[in-house]
Amino acid sequence: DGGITQSPKYLFRKEGQNVTLSCEQNLNHDAMYWYRQDPGQGLRLIYYSQIVNDFQKGDIAEGYSVSREKKESFPLTVTSAQKNPTAFYLCASGRDETYEQYFGPGTRLTVT
Amino acid sequence: AQSVTQPDIHITVSEGASLELRCNYSYGATPYLFWYVQSPGQGLQLLLKYFSGDTLVQGIKGFEAEFKRSQSSFNLRKPSVHWSDAAEYFCARSNDYKLSFGAGTTVTVRA
């Protein structure tokens, strides 16, 4: 059963702590993406990776970091430098040649 | 920058009535266009896509969309809405190796 998994679904952290969000796909897609979603603002791209061991900043990369050591995995770390980390985070994967992206179920991060 | 505009933030429609959601994109060579749907607290599901060819594309759940190059539009339609269609809908266009998303339109279905 192919798809994208994100864990956990809900995550709570104290301000000042780094937190890592998991994203795994078994669709054999080369490209993976991280988005942040806030009410009324649609999806904003944080980071993307077109191939293993390579990634690029999106529109709102400040305060975030990623790694892409395996094709299947693209974890996102929300660092203490991110000023407003509370949001819904969505991971996606896709094939470059079609631009189609398939989304995971999302992780809702709350930082207090 | 390539962008997408969804003029309607919120639409309310009666069950059984038709639905049309508007999407306009900034001009660019051969845009690939998409419509996604998101239920509350869930990820996005691809409804349909336009790459080239026939300008009327059919998608899942009874949705269709029409690409109009002259109007830079890619509007989504459904002839008869079901209560389960209540969700948020996003239009997206290709942008280099990424997608640019509109801000979304929330659809409420009343009985």
**Nearest chain A alpha carbon to B98:** A99
Q: State pLDDT tens for residues B51-106.
A: 888 889 999 999 999 999 889 999 999 999 999 999 999 999 988 778 999 999 99
Selecting from A48, A90, A98 the residue whose C-beta is nearest the C-beta of B44 gives A90
| Strand A76-78, strand A31-37: pairing | unpaired
Q: Distance, in angstroms, between B9 CA and closest chain A CA?
A: 8
Torsion, Cα of B82, A107, B47, B12 (10° steps): 40
Judge whether residue B29 has pLDDT over 80. Answer: no
**Residue A2 — pLDDT band, cuts 50, 70, 90?**
low
Indicate the residue of A42, A48, A102 with minimum beta-carbon distance to B103: A42
Residue B10 has, within 13 A of its CA and on its CB side, a CA count of 5
Give me the half-sphere count of Cα atoms (radius 13 Å) on the Cβ side of residue A30: 10
Residue A94: count of CB within 10 angstroms of its CB: 24
Evaluate if residue B1 carries a pLDDT over 70: no
Check residue A46 and give its pLDDT. Answer: 97
**CB contact residues (below 8 A), chain A span 17-76, against chain B:** 31, 33, 40-43, 45, 48, 50, 58
